[in-house]
Amino acid sequence: MRYINRDIIVETVERLCIEANYNIEDDVMEALNNSLRNEISPTGKDVLSQIIENDLIARNDSVPMCQDTGVVIVFLEIGNDVHIDYDIYEAINEGVRNGYNHGYLRKSVVRHPLDRVNTKDNTPAVIHTKLISGDKINLLIAAKGAGSENMSLVKMLTPAEGIEGVKDLVIDTVFNAKGKPCPPIIVGLGLGGTFEKSALLAKEAVMRPINDQSPDPIARKLEKDLLEEINKLGVGPLGFGGTQTALAVKVNVYPCHIASLPVAINIQCHASRHKKITI
Amino acid sequence: MKITTPLTDETIAKLKAGDKVLITGTIYTARDAAHLRLVNLINENKALPFDIKNQIIYYVGPTPAKPGQVIGSAGPTTSYRMDPYAPTLLKHGLRGMIGKGDRNQTVKDAIKKYKAVYFGAVGGAAALISKSIKKVELIAYEDLGAEAIRKLEVVDFPALVVNDIYGNDLIIDNIKKYKVDDKNE
């Protein structure tokens, strides 16, 4: 058994909330630079240059790259040999509160979806917990903006609709969203499981490093084919037209019922912000 | 093209979809919650907290300013959420909107009818855009936090004309230009 102190959780979450919002990850920056090289639309090139310049300003000046500093999503993995004697969800939310106050981040959470009163500290976070082996805690902290999240969906297809049905749904979703989710986007596709599992798969998919590939051969081919097709849509950076609509497509799969083909599409804007740490 | 606010008929007549503009002058911020309040006031025949005639509304909810900053990061939010309210404001004299993403047909029709313009800014370029904002004054709805209405003084605020009074649409035209059709339709 290894005891993990509450203060470490609070301080780590605070730090990662701020870092995620100020410092674009290197893999995203590299993908944006590749997009700039490949874009043929002059407006698209101009937009991508502004995005890259913006992300460098944010990093150098220690300011948020986007004003939508998001709702905090936490993937919490707890080793079965970890001992904690406090409410870890409370500790995480304290870290979020501190991060959003000390980091001058926008408070974008309302207490109720219908009465819409701001909680004024960006809590609560959305926390997904997994039990793993070992004596460590893994934390993945994501700041997810609503512009791209609002363009996401879950749909229950039938097995007969198959891979073509999946592709059509992704293409239609990305095309109809146009500039709303701040392209170039990352598309997270969750296939299989159940209604709620597919959404979680899609969310986990957008958290993957931009350059990795699915270990599953069918998913890997789908990632490549969909990226090609999406970049033929003409949507381009911020929807102003161009060839660079998506930076990557990530497909995560899970077994499912003989009668089901759950499909979840989670859209991530170009300001892909998440940080991972092991405690 | 450099333009100044408040917008005049002459300026608006010159603007065509696809034009790159640098906006200087006063603009006002408002997003979801403030729009609901503004339109409710109009429906109740009450005065608005600022005169929207010939003005531009910027759809933004900035981050808090750090010490030494005029404003925090301040990029555009997605405009379609303001589509239910925009035609009412245009009818009452608003002439410009800045946001990101496409608008619905009702808004595009109102832009033409009331001779207004929709500008697109670069979503996610919030740290860069905030450098063009020189002065900020909170003028209404402080309780809304980031969603409060602020009066901004901007110099060379970068934007693109998306929808003009002639019915042109940069988004539709440019996507058509770069779309690769390799399927038999």
Shortest CB distance from B178 goes to which of A105, A147, A243? A243
Collect all residues with Cβ–Cβ distance below 8 Å to B114 and sequence separation of at least 6.
B90, B91, B95
A69 CB neighbours in chain B (<8 A) are 63
Q: What is the ipTM of this complex?
A: 0.95
Token couple for A238: 């911020």
SS3 A209: coil
* Given the residues B35, B95, B103, B108, the one annotated as active site: B35
- A251: which strand partners? A189
Shortest CB distance from B100 goes to which of A146, A235, A238? A238
Chain-chain contact of A43 with B18 (C-beta, under 8 angstroms): yes
- Contact between residue A110 and residue A119 where contact means Cβ atoms under 8 Å apart: yes
Question: CB distance from A59 to chain B under 8 Å?
Answer: no
If contacts are CB pairs under 8 Å, which of residues 132-171 in chain B contact chain A?
A: 144-146, 158, 160, 170-171
Sign of CA dihedral A77, A81, A87, A92: negative
- Contact between residue A272 and residue A209 where contact means Cβ atoms under 8 Å apart: no
185 residues of chain B, pLDDT tens digit each: 999 999 999 999 999 999 999 999 999 999 999 999 999 999 999 999 999 999 999 999 999 999 999 999 999 999 999 999 999 999 999 999 999 999 999 999 999 999 999 999 999 999 999 999 999 999 999 999 999 999 999 999 999 999 999 999 999 999 999 999 875 44
